[in-house]
Amino acid sequence: MIDTSIARPPVRWFLRGSSPSRAKLRLFCFPHAGGAPAAYLAWSPYLPSTVELLILQLPGRGSRIWEAPFTSMHQLAEAVGSAILPLLGDSPYVLFGHSMGALSAFEVARWLRRGGLRIPAHILVSGHQAPQCKPVRDTTLHLQSDSDLIADVRRLNGTPEEILENSALLEIMLPTLRADYQVTKSYQCTAEQPLTCPISVLGGLYDPETSREGLEAWANQTTGSCRLHMFPGDHFFVLKQATYVLPVIARMLEELI
């Protein structure tokens, strides 16, 4: 059993996008590599009114910009799992993660289960193939030059060009981005029993980071149902095509309330 007395203060770990007075369900969002909570704050108006939205703010970004970022999934899952405990309460909760966030949400759920703690009612994973699948591309990007790292971010088409051309901003952002890449590129999925909660998978039709086969393989990580939803767009379809994506997420959440 995990000692929950060491749980870290939740205030700095999660930002509240919405906080209904009578929340029936909590949705925890795990952003992508280099991502900050701001992109998900805009989701609140599109979610059911009884859903409380909490967005993970990892070290190295936002108000925690000067904190050292994690460099391994083991560190991240243990720290976030400890931070999430005081927020679980008795209501059902859902984990959503995009790209690196998908792996993070999955590993936090497994960390909670290993501790004998309540697992999510549902996990929504987006923009990442199943964790047991072979990586789509180079796993040493975090070891390469700044220019190579920037080129990869540009290829994924999710960061405004004015940011990628701002040397002052890049000086602040690149260490965190490099650390996030290290988390994902060094990640290895250890063999465990499948989770029992349902997993819903969201994918972009033109995402170079995933294949349909890799997305469908999430079914091997649960004994519950696993549904795949494909959307128009590239790797960042979940943000760029929000008008398509959010109604689907809202319907999934309504089924749990």
Q: Is 28 helix (H, G, I), strand (E, B) or coil?
A: strand
Residue 152 Cα to chain centre, angstroms: 19
Please identify which of the residues 44, 82, 99, 104 carries the catalytic annotation.
99
CB within 8 Å of 29: residues ≥ 6 apart: 17, 37, 40, 43, 53, 54, 55, 56, 96, 97, 101
Q: Which amino acid is at 46?
A: Y
Rounded distance between C-alpha atoms, residue 14 and residue 6, angstroms: 17
CB within 8 Å of 225: residues ≥ 6 apart: 198, 199
Tokens 């890049």 belong to which residue? Answer: 170
Residue 105 Cα to chain centre, angstroms: 5
**DSSP 3-state helix, strand, coil percentages of the chain (rounded to 5)?**
40, 15, 40
Residue 58's closest CA among 88, 86, 29?
Answer: 29
Residue 200's closest CA among 180, 178, 240, 230?
Answer: 230
**Is 211 a catalytic site residue?**
no
What are the residue numbers of the active site?
Answer: 99
